[in-house]
Amino acid sequence: YEQELSLRLRRGLEGLRGIRVLGHPGAEKVGVVSFVPAFMDPGQLADQLASAGFALRAGLHCAPSIHQWLGTLHSGACRASVGIYNTEQEVDQLLEAVDRALGQR
């Protein structure tokens, strides 16, 4: 179930303009998706999403070396996760909130 939600989240983010999803396609098997908004600071996006009721984390996530390798050391990334307690509707609501936030830049 978590893999299905993660895949829904990953594919939904990949479909949004201005979002770069990080990680290998095999990462779809885990419930964590990291992404970088192209035109907004990840911390700012996480803060906006928090005010809409979503708890994301932003920054380097204790992994500056991988961010240097990915070319995101200057910005970091947003990280969202899903679990057994989440629903498809909640994933869709998060995707809509990200899309709205990016449209407000």
Phi then psi for 104, rounded to 5 degrees? -90, 0
**Which tens digit of pLDDT belongs to each residue from 46-99?**
999 999 999 999 977 777 777 677 777 778 899 999 999 999 999 999 999 999
Q: Which residues touch 31 (CB under 8 Å, ≥6 apart)?
A: 2, 3, 5, 6, 81, 82, 83
Give this prediction's pTM. Answer: 0.88
**Catalytic site positions:** 62
Give the neighbor-by-neighbor strand order of the sheet with 32-37.
19-21, 32-37, 77-81, 57-59
